[in-house]
């Protein structure tokens, strides 16, 4: 039985046609990078918000913890895109990841140095500082993938990466939940954060190998024709070009969706800890269920987008993701919480890849790193708004009312994307 399960998992990483030789190493390190990101995601990322809630964080502090990265990205996305022009994106991604991910080690030692009240603010401060190089990483790495992976292989690579992220995060979320359930507080969290740092460091190692690859696709174009134009024309979006006009429309639609998405995210740890009263193991099992469904569903990304296209797939998946907060609002215990995680995982398994591919299809053909930095700007503006407003809805409507409101907004954002995208 285990051999059958293993074959059903691994065969999906082998495409129906041979991978061109010049892309094999790039694809390999892109997959391995994401596997280690899964370790980080299933440990530190999955439980940092829960840890803050256990320390007694207020809704405002949880919102700030999610808003601070968005604020930094908002300020630095455009300058990062300009600064990267003419530089090798793989190398930029490696150095920025190394500078950012060293901060994950700091979370391990915080309980030894500070009281819980002070520790909460130190966590927010670390999040602020580490997101300066993380902004550069986000812009450079996503632009690298768009430039280095041909469009016909993008669904395969993105789907495979999302699948690996989900299955590895699943395993380490379960492991982290067991550790937190069996080890006294806060030592259990220190162990979990140490595992997260290991994953972050190994991911950066594979970015180092990607940076060493001598691929012409990994360099932002610096042709004479482009460099003759002023920089402001390369990065400022105007409606004078139909290609740019379409990209602006897509950015506005994504802005609306990301607000609806991030209204929910800072509310979930507060809801699970303070309203449902779930323990760390139950929260870990719920996250594992979500990641398992995402893992299975991600391998159908290429088939679904091939049939419906990236635009329709993205819009319908956005509406499907609106069911997740609606089901959470109806939850009164662990069982229905698991149903919500299952349904949310189905929509996200397709949306995560389709949305990236839809954005890549919409990018202007020149200076993609600069254009992608505008998406970083727009998405993080939405994250900032959603993260700060989401917890406030709890005070206005209560947990169930707020989550039902968020569900309606997600469905509306998906419909708008289907109608005008």
Dihedral sign from CA coordinates of 168, 338, 52, 137: positive
Nearest residue to 203 (alpha-carbon basis) of 13, 20, 44: 44
Contact 192, 176 (CB under 8 A): yes
Q: What predicted TM-score, i.e. pTM, was given to this entire model?
A: 0.68
Q: Which two tokens stand for residue 320?
A: 């499907």
Length of the chain equals 421
Determine the pLDDT at residue 368: 64
What residue spans define the domains of the chain?
24-214+238-420
Task: Give me the residues of the chain with pLDDT under 70, please.
Answer: 1-18, 20-21, 81, 213-241, 365-370
The answer to whether 206 and 36 have CB atoms below 8 angstroms apart is: yes
The pLDDT, as a whole number, for residue 370 is 66
Tell me the sheet residues that pair with 219.
88
**What is d(CA 413, CA 318) in angstroms, rounded to the nearest whole number?**
7
Give the model confidence (pLDDT) of 242-276 as tens digits.
778 888 899 999 999 999 998 998 888 888 888 88
Task: Compute the distance between CA of residue 363 and CA of residue 371 in angstroms, rounded to an integer.
Answer: 7
Number of Cα atoms under 13 Å in the Cβ half of residue 284: 22
pLDDT for the residue 16: 57
The whole-number pLDDT of residue 300 equals: 79
Distances (CA, A) of 109 to 177, 332, 372: 20, 35, 36
- Rounded Cα gap, residues 306 and 341, in angstroms: 26
Contacts of 217 (CB under 8 A, 6+ apart): 147, 148
CATH number of 24-214+238-420: 1.20.1250.20
Task: Measure CA 164 to chain center.
Answer: 14
The pLDDT value recorded for residue 118 is 92
Phi and psi (nearest 5°) for 219? -110, 135
CA dihedral in degrees (165, 170, 176, 177; nearest 10)? Answer: 150
Question: What is residue 183's three-state secondary structure?
Answer: coil
Of 389, 401, 303, the C-alpha closest to 354 is: 303
């Amino acid at each position: 039985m285990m051999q059958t399960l293993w074959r059903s998992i691994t065969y999906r990483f082998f495409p129906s046609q041979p991978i061109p030789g010049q892309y094999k190493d790039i694809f390999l390190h892109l997959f391995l990078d994401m596997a280690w990101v899964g370790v980080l995601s299933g440990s530190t990322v999955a439980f940092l918000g829960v840890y803050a809630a256990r320390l007694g964080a207020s809704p405002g502090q949880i919102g700030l913890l999610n808003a601070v990265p968005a604020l930094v990205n908002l300020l630095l996305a455009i300058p990062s895109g300009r600064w990267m022009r003419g530089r090798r994106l793989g190398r930029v991604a490696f150095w920025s990841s190394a500078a950012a991910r060293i901060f994950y080690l700091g979370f391990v030692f915080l309980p030894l140095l500070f009281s819980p009240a002070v520790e909460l603010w130190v966590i927010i401060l670390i999040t602020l500082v580490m997101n300066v190089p993380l902004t550069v990483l986000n812009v450079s790495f996503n632009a690298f993938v768009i430039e280095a992976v041909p469009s016909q292989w993008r669904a395969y690579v993105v789907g495979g990466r999302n699948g690996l992220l989900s299955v590895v995060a699943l395993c380490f979320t379960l492991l982290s939940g067991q550790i937190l359930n069996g080890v006294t507080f806060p030592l259990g969290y220190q162990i979990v954060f140490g595992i997260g740092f290991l994953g972050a460091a190994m991911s950066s190692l594979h970015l180092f190998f990607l940076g060493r690859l001598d691929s012409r696709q990994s360099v932002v174009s610096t042709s004479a024709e482009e460099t003759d134009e002023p920089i402001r024309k390369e990065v400022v979006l105007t409606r004078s070009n139909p290609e740019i006009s379409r990209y602006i429309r897509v950015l506005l639609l994504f802005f609306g969706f990301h607000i609806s998405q991030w209204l929910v995210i800072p509310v979930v740890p507060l809801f699970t800890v303070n309203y449902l009263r779930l323990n760390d193991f139950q929260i870990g099992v719920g996250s594992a269920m979500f990641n398992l469904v995402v893992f299975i569903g991600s391998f159908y990304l290429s088939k679904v987008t091939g049939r419906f296209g990236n635009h329709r797939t993205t819009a319908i998946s956005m509406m499907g993701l609106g069911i997740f907060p609606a089901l959470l609002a109806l939850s009164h215990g662990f069982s229905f919480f698991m149903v919500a995680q299952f349904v949310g995982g189905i929509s996200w398994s397709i949306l995560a890849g389709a949305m990236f591919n839809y954005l890549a299809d919409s990018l202007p053909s020149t200076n993609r790193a600069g254009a992608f930095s505008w998406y970083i700007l727009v998405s993080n503006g939405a994250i900032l708004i959603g993260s700060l407003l989401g917890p406030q809805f709890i005070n206005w409507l209560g947990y169930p009312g707020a989550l039902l409101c968020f569900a309606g907004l997600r469905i509306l954002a998906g419909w708008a994307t289907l109608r005008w995208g």
